């Protein structure tokens, strides 16, 4: 079969406009087919690689071969820098109704460690491999973030990035997993990392003591396959909400709210797990972010105090109630959402938000689509915009 250049030259022009790397993609279909490049595939690569780089303006030539299977596909792929050696594309991360992390067909895999025997009996060795290969970031290392992290590591996740700017306080010890009074005064990310490393010495765990509202910190999330938003910082959640659109990185955002009456008696225990993916409403479209508080959080302490005194901004810094039983329950629901998306044990049409009203023993779900003309609306052309300027399509302050 011959493919005329008019079949792909237009796409190369589009790639140049988008500053994207074009990929020469084809299938090896049929029963028993494998995606290993043939001598003819290699000849095509030699024939078109220079043209691809020239017409797209990219310094790379990439190729990917897929073989359809009954439950998905297998693949091989390479990316070749200009004047350099080809390196394998070792993984493909697919984010749809189901989330699939596929490893290169030629990659050697060993049986999961025996400590995961109970997991493997529940969902099989393939999912265990996926958990071990996922790159997961957790923004917020407090009550929900530490509970999410501990569950992920015990499940077999071995690549973590922890982000939090706070220092562990005495009142945090009641709900932050791995903390004791001895760690008070230390960065939360350091306390949590040390705890997780005791559970899994083979864990690759990076930390950033900083806020995701800082551009360099937000950019560090680009290498993550999935992000758990476990912060109660409204401005930070605005940043996380954009990841699913601009970087196509799914975000599972977690919130817990305890409400009391005028006498201080607990009347509401509400938890929320919102799954942000392309095609789902962002946190702004869902009215899940307090915009006034987010704006106030981005001001200097002096500006916030002045505006609060004048009644133009909400007062910040209040200590909100938090209880380990409730934060842990909502964290478990967030991890459950990840497992459902990977394994597919839930109903085929998945909701993108779960609400837990623990005080009423009720759980409900819903789905919401982007508002027209908002940045998360596909018609705005921001899906997969990547590293465009400004990053995530928003303004950033000085670092």
Q: Are 200 and 158 in contact (CB under 8 A)?
A: yes
| pLDDT digit string, tens, across residues 177-226 | 999 999 999 999 999 999 999 999 999 999 999 999 999 999 999 999 99
Residue 74 predicted with pLDDT over 80:
yes
Q: If pLDDT is split at 50, 70 and 90, which confidence band does 311 have?
A: low
Q: What is the pLDDT of residue 308?
A: 65
Greatest extent of the chain over all pairs of C-alpha atoms, in Å: 78
Residue 97 tokens read as: 């109704």
Helix or strand (DSSP H, E) at 78: strand 72-81
**How is residue 83 annotated by DSSP?**
T
- Measured in degrees and rounded to the nearest 5, phi and psi for residue 129 equal -65, -40
Tell me the whole-structure pTM to 2 decimals: 0.91
Q: If pLDDT is split at 50, 70 and 90, which confidence band does 2 have?
A: low
Q: Are 162 and 129 in contact (CB under 8 A)?
A: no
Beta-strand (E) ranges in the chain? 23-27, 60-69, 72-81, 87-88, 91-95, 99-103, 136-139, 159-163, 204-208, 226-229, 251-260, 266-276, 353-357, 362-366
Mean of the pLDDT values across residues 360-367?
96
Instruction: Please say whether the dihedral angle defined by the alpha carbons of residues 177, 183, 189 and 194, taken in this order, is positive or negative.
Output: negative
| pLDDT digit string, tens, across residues 107-124 | 888 899 999 999 999 999
Mean of the pLDDT values across residues 131-141?
97
Q: Are 283 and 237 in contact (CB under 8 A)?
A: yes
Mean of the pLDDT values across residues 384-388?
85
CA 40 to chain centre: 38
Residue 159 tokens read as: 């690549």
């Amino acid at each position: 079969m011959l493919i005329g250049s008019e079949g792909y030259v237009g796409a190369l022009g589009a790639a140049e406009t988008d500053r994207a790397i074009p990929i020469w993609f084809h299938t090896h279909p049929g029963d028993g087919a494998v995606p290993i490049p043939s001598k003819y595939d290699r000849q095509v690569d030699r024939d078109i690689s220079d043209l691809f780089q020239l017409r797209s303006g990219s310094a790379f030539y990439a190729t990917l071969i897929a073989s359809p299977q009954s439950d998905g596909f297998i693949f091989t792929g390479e990316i070749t820098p200009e004047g350099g050696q080809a390196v394998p594309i070792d993984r493909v991360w697919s984010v749809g109704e189901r989330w699939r992390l596929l490893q290169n067909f030629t990659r050697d895999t060993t049986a999961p460690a025996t400590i995961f025997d109970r997991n493997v009996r529940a969902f099989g060795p393939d999912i265990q491999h996926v958990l071990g290969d996922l790159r997961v970031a957790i923004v917020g290392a407090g009550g929900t973030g530490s509970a999410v992290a501990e569950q992920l590591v015990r499940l077999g996740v071995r690549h973590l990035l922890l982000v939090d700017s706070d220092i562990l306080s005495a009142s945090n010890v009641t709900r932050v997993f791995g903390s004791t009074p001895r760690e008070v005064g230390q960065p939360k990310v350091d306390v949590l990392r040390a705890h997780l490393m005791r559970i899994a010495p083979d864990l690759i765990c990076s930390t950033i003591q900083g806020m995701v509202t800082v551009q360099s910190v937000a950019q560090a999330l680009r290498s993550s396959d999935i992000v758990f938003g476990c912060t109660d910082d409204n401005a930070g959640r605005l940043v996380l909400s954009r990841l699913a659109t601009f970087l196509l990185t799914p975000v599972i955002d977690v919130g817990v709210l305890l409400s009391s009456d005028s006498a201080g008696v607990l009347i509401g225990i509400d938890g929320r797990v919102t799954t942000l993916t392309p095609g789902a409403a962002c946190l702004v479209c869902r009215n899940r972010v307090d915009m006034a508080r987010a704006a106030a959080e981005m001001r200097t302490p002096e500006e916030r105090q002045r505006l609060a005194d004048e009644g133009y901004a909400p007062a910040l810094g209040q200590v909100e109630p938090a209880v380990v039983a409730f934060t842990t329950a909502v964290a478990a629901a967030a991890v459950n959402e990840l497992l459902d998306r990977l394994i597919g044990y839930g109903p085929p049409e998945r909701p993108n938000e779960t609400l837990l009203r623990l005080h009423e023993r009720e759980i409900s779900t819903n789905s919401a689509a982007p508002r027209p003309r908002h940045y998360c609306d596909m018609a705005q052309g921001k899906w997969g915009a990547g590293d465009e300027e400004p990053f995530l399509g928003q303004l950033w302050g000085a670092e």
